[in-house]
Structure 1
Amino acid sequence: MSPLSYSVPQRILHWGMALLILFNLLFTDGMEHWYRLVRRGQPVTPDDVASANIHAYVGIAILVLAALRLGLRFVQGVPAASEVEPAPLRLLAHITHGLLYVLLFAMPLAGIGAYYFGNTTAGFVHAGVLKILLWLLLGAHVAGALVHQFIWKTDVLARMTRGV
């Protein structure tokens, strides 16, 4: 039997991770600057490393929180999809959520491979393909929530905000 809404820990993890993900997507300058210096063989200052580390540590936090969130999902379950939503869009939402979970693991792991192990392919995948895919999926996720709220007038958004 599915719960009617997400639990408080699930909601806290969702919104906390949303903030961390947006932070790392929007504020990449420190990591990009560090990478340019390393690639050119130029000296890297402690400030450069500290700035890059912020991006790396936030990414690692996202990875740890994603594992915790996935564990909570298996233990506590999730609310059933809204019956108002057409079946093909429910399937699309299910696929989108699945891909978001894959990216919550793949992005940090690729970033770790690039930053800590110097794997340039992992860096390319992290900052290129996965980043673009994450932006697209986040856009679809937000658009879906807004359609539920304002077009179909369901409680989908309330389940992840107020727990209704």
Structure 2
Amino acid sequence: MESSTPVSFSLSQRVLHWGTALLVFFNLLFADGIEEWNRAIRRTGSATAEQVAGANIHAYVGIAILILVALRLILRFTSGVPAAPPEEPALFRLGAKIAHVALYLLLIAMPLTGIGAYYLGNGQAGDVHADVLKVLLWIVVIAHVLGALVHQFYWKTNVLRRMTVG
């Protein structure tokens, strides 16, 4: 591990970030497959092949998110991350750290509770996954995006640049 703080995120970190973001948005916006499967299982105890395929896509994307997050954390701890820009007030710096921790925890908890619900048949895990963690994830993702926009347009920092072109 380098002793100096990087000035930008590495290409690997950026690719993993945006890949994770795309998969997260896919599963948040297109959860119909798993929801149809869940309704069918609750109603009749079985699901059609199409419903199972839709649920599998949601589950596989969730597992991919878990793998990408694990890789992101490994890179974060081995390569480091850029320091917060000096333009960012201390209170917002603390908020950003809390939001990043919450985001990582949610991106681990969501797939794990989804696995518990879908593969292990744990209804409570499914309820937490869909009714609690999903709402919290939306809140933290929106805060994350708003924070990036504040950096770009209000503080005029290089935060978006560090996560896009480096």
Per-residue deviation, residues 58-85 of structure 1 (Å, max 9, x unmatched)? 0000001100110000010000011111
* Paired position in structure 1 for 2:9: 6
Counterpart in 1 of 2:66?
Answer: 63
Percent identity of equivalent pairs: 65
Q: Which residue number in structure 1 is paired with residue 18 of structure 2?
A: 15
Structure 1 residue 78 and structure 2 residue 81: aligned?
yes
Name the CA distance, whole Å, in 1 between partners of 2:89 and 2:161.
Answer: 19
The alpha carbon displacement at 1:15 in A equals 0.4
- Quote the offset at 1:42 in angstroms: 4.6
Determine if the alignment matches structure 1 residue 153 to structure 2 residue 156: yes
- Aligned pair partner of 1:102 in 93, 102, 105: 105
Q: How many angstroms does 1:128 deviate by?
A: 1.0
Structure 1 CA distance for aligned equivalents of residues 140 and 71 of structure 2: 21
| 1:32 aligned residue (31, 35, 55) | 35
Q: Partner residue of 1:141?
A: 144
Question: 2:38 aligned with 1:54, yes or no?
Answer: no
CA positional deviation for 1:48:
1.1
Q: What TM-score results when the alignment is normalised by the length of structure 1?
A: 0.98
1 CA distance for matches of 2:99 and 2:138?
12
- Once the two structures are TM-superposed, the CA of residue 41 in structure 1 deviates from its matched residue by 2.1
Letter in 1 for 2:74: G
2:48 and 2:131 map into 1 onto residues whose CA distance is: 26
SS in 2 for 1:117: coil
* Structure 1 residue ranges (4+ consecutive) displaced by more than 3 angstroms after TM superposition: none
Question: Which residue of 2 is the match for residue 125 of structure 1?
Answer: 128
Question: Structure 1 regions of 5+ residues with no counterpart?
Answer: none
Quote the Cα distance in structure 1 between the aligned partners of 2:141 and 2:99.
9
TM-score by length of 2: 0.97
**RMSD (Å), alpha carbons:** 0.7
Residue of structure 1 aligned with 2:46, choices 43, 47, 54 = 43
